[in-house]
Structure 1
Amino acid sequence: MSDWIEPGQKAPAFTLTADDGSKVRLADLAGNPVVLYFYPKDDTPGCTKEACAFRDLKNELQKHGAKVFGVSADDVASHVKFRDKFKLNFPLLADVDHAVAEKYGAWREKNMYGKKSMGIQRSTYLIDGKGKVAKVWKRVQVDGHDQQVLEALGELQHDE
């Protein structure tokens, strides 16, 4: 189990397949802030609520130039169903072998009703336009999280 990536560190590079079949590389996103959020599973209550909150904030996020990406260990076919069912307007990235989640520290031991297993810990990374991690939310509580991200984007713009 890897440690969390912390603010100030360079965001680990990645290339993942998006729900539309395209490849998304962090290096290609330079110049814009990136909201990279890791979530446990497509079409489950908390993950749906989180995805829909980011979907509904699209205009505000775009004002900051931010690009949002959801990452889970689900495959592209699962992402397509999830995206279409909830009309998601940002790419979902398939991290099937959870290698990227591990690089960021989001792949963690979870304890559900006394049963331990490995899985994605709901977490969000705000990466600035230069590829540095500006803010990390570990063990995200879905309610209000979208607004926390929006506030951090506002602060990021004042710092740059």
Structure 2
Amino acid sequence: MTTKIDDFLPYLNDEDRANHLKAIGSIGDAFAYRTSIKVDPQRISNLPAVREHVLSGGAIALDIEAAISSLKNEPSISNALIAAEVEEAEIGKIQSDTATMSRADRLTYARERGLDRPRADVADSMSLNSHLAILQGLGPQQRIAYARRHGIS
């Protein structure tokens, strides 16, 4: 029977709870650095490596490699990793295709493949504050075009 570490945290001392938060942060940062995917701290909290490290009072060293392997084997995270690899491959193909093209040819390439418009999955998930932050860095004509394209105007 495996129980969640959260069930034990109220009974542990402050040092162990701080050790728990530090372990979650270390694993989350390492995973994000290697894969560019942020993981919910709750998923990290219940990994066996974290549980062993915290319950031993730090006597058992935090095995970051084992924790990362455990995270990679989780279905939702492995699906996100596959999607990230596919996107990286698509970007690599676009870069290699356009490396020797002239400016006009690159623009034609982008228009033919729909790369000159914002992606629906990104634009739809952005908040108004995110759009406003982007608008701040644009010139007046670009602001108007961006606002029209995203339905802000």
TM normalised by structure 2 equals: 0.28
The structure that is helix-richer by fraction is 2
Higher relative contact order (CA 8 A, sep 6+): 1
The structure that is strand-richer by fraction is 1
Query: Which has the greater radius of gyration?
Result: 2
